[in-house]
Amino acid sequence: MVPGVPVVKTIEIREQPVLSFRRTVQITANGVRYRLFRSLVTVGVVAVAVAFLMNILSESLIRRAIAARASSRIAELRRAAAWVARLTNPPTVEEALQQLAAADGEFREAAKQATAYLSFFTALDYARRRALFHGAAGTGAFDALQDEAALSRFRDGLKVMRSVRLPSSLPSFEEFVRGWPKLKEAAEGVRRKQAEGIARVSDALRGKPLLDALADADGAFGEAIRSAGFALEPAEAQRVAQHARRVLDTQLVERSATAPQMRQAVAGYLDLLPNDVSARVVWRLLRSHKGASWYLARQGESRGEAAGLPADRLVELARVQDEAESIARAERMTLASGGFTGSGERMDWLVVASMLVCVVGISNSMLMSVTERFREIATLKCLGALDGFIMLMFVLEAAFLGVVGGLVGAVLGTLLGFARMLVPFGSLVTASFPIAQVALAIVASSFLGVILAAVAAVYPSLKAARLAPMEAMRIQ
């Protein structure tokens, strides 16, 4: 120390302390708890938006699952009718191509390409088909492109229609078109072979109706079908025979119900007018063993056609008939509407609008939170909090609220979608509910809720981070 010289105090500059992420999360969670009402508002905004999205997604997924199940079940119920058509008319070229694609052989890959191209052409509207190959439909499009000039016009048309994309590259398609005549000849060969087989099956019928003969598909007539060149496995033959017998019994019951004496008996039993007795009314009567037993008793008295059927068989036929009607109705109601949600483009835009409203609502809530916490922000900054910490705190708070709101909204939307589908489709919903897909949609919707909340909080958190401490302290 030198006399007369002022003492200069040494200032030690240390590194800025940084709180750990865990401590930051704890502080944010405490802030959410202290501002519970404001937090519930933000959670509600996220939950409503996510619930709306999840409701649409769950309905779309359930509809698709029901449509797939209905299509499969309808094909199962119409198995005998499908074999009647197959043993009556030769396949079209398109059907022959599908058979070639399903069988091992030289033309398998080419036939797969053909079916893919045909699906692509079918999806095009008439104006585009006309511009590409003069409106030709089906395999006629391949025939129309055999001319080099037509192929050149097709190539030029694709250049103009930028939204149209072939299932493969253009050179691969052109190579397929050049090999089409050979593939078409193979498909025609399949048609000729099956036409010869149909003629042999017709000879084996000996005047007997084909449906009646299919009731013996698991016996001698099945052997005749196989000897004609058709692939009818024993298990398939047994199912065809069962379905054919069911169709014959169904027709027998419906014929028996048209007799005037039976119509009057059913009308008196159900307290209806005779003209109101239809096949549907009779099938409703036969759903129970009591109704079936009564019906058989009246058939025995009038020597009706269905008198020889047991009551259990009538109940089984009635339940299958009821199932067929409900499945056919479900198939009509589950027609695809397009769009990424499967509910149409209009609904897609409504989803996008709801997401925007969600972002605006969260941003407004977070801005109000910033306004209410000016002194808190200023205090934190005076204690050494950095701008990044302030911003992270607000984004984390919004993300927490997004997690809760997303989960609540996803669950509520799923339950609402399930309930809405349960009304028109009944037990089909529970039988075909796509658990894995819906669970994945719940996770995706919840994650979307977190993302929306975090993105919406960026501007309010940036505003809070840039707030000057002294200016904030002066605000009352």
Within this chain, do residues 151 and 199 fall inside the same structural domain, yes or no? yes
Whether residue 449 contacts residue 50, with contact meaning beta carbons closer than 8 Å, is answered with yes
Examine residue 228 and state whether it is found in any structural domain, yes or no. no
Mean predicted confidence (pLDDT) in 53-67: 83
What tens digit of pLDDT does each residue of 138-188 get?
888 888 888 888 888 888 888 877 777 888 888 888 888 888 889 889 888
Examine residue 356 and state whether it is found in any structural domain, yes or no. yes
Question: Where does a domain end: 333, 356, 381?
Answer: 333
What tens digit of pLDDT does each residue of 265-290 get?
888 888 888 788 888 888 888 888 88
Within this chain, do residues 66 and 106 fall inside the same structural domain, yes or no? no
Strands of 285-326, DSSP E:
none
Examine residue 408 and state whether it is found in any structural domain, yes or no. yes
Examine residue 8 and state whether it is found in any structural domain, yes or no. no
Among residues 157, 159, 163, the alpha carbon closest in space to that of 141 is found at 157
The structural domain count of the chain equals 3
pTM, to two decimals: 0.65
Within this chain, do residues 61 and 137 fall inside the same structural domain, yes or no? no
Within this chain, do residues 447 and 356 fall inside the same structural domain, yes or no? yes
What tens digit of pLDDT does each residue of 116-126 get?
888 888 877 77
> Rg of the chain over CA atoms, in angstroms?
36
pLDDT value at residue 266: 84
Within this chain, do residues 145 and 105 fall inside the same structural domain, yes or no? yes
What tens digit of pLDDT does each residue of 351-406 get?
777 777 767 776 777 667 666 666 777 777 777 777 777 777 777 877 887 888 88
Give the Cα separation of 200 and 214 in Å (integer): 15
46 by Cβ neighbours in 10 Å (0-12 / 13-18 / 19+) ranks as buried
pLDDT band at 340 (very low <50, low <70, confident <90, very high): low
Examine residue 25 and state whether it is found in any structural domain, yes or no. yes
Q: Is 330 helix (H, G, I), strand (E, B) or coil?
A: helix
pLDDT value at residue 343: 57
Domain that holds residue 416: 21-73+338-474
Examine residue 5 and state whether it is found in any structural domain, yes or no. no
Within this chain, do residues 246 and 324 fall inside the same structural domain, yes or no? yes
What tens digit of pLDDT does each residue of 417-470 get?
888 888 877 777 887 888 888 888 888 888 888 887 787 777 777 777 776 766
Q: Report in angstroms the alpha-carbon separations of 33 from 24, 30, 167, 464.
A: 14, 5, 55, 19
Question: Where does a domain end: 290, 318, 333?
Answer: 333
Within this chain, do residues 453 and 351 fall inside the same structural domain, yes or no? yes
Within this chain, do residues 369 and 469 fall inside the same structural domain, yes or no? yes
User: For 6, which DSSP code?
Assistant: P
What is the average pLDDT score of the chain?
79
**472: pLDDT strictly greater than 70:** no
Within this chain, do residues 385 and 413 fall inside the same structural domain, yes or no? yes
User: For 11, which DSSP code?
Assistant: P
Mean predicted confidence (pLDDT) in 50-76: 81
pLDDT value at residue 5: 57
Within this chain, do residues 157 and 186 fall inside the same structural domain, yes or no? yes
Examine residue 2 and state whether it is found in any structural domain, yes or no. no
Strands of 73-177, DSSP E:
none
Examine residue 151 and state whether it is found in any structural domain, yes or no. yes
Within this chain, do residues 196 and 114 fall inside the same structural domain, yes or no? yes
Question: Where does a domain end: 184, 208, 232?
Answer: 208
* Block residue for tokens 């930028």: 162
**249: pLDDT strictly greater than 80:** yes
Within this chain, do residues 315 and 432 fall inside the same structural domain, yes or no? no
pLDDT value at residue 83: 80
**18: pLDDT strictly greater than 70:** no
Give the Cα separation of 206 and 77 in Å (integer): 27
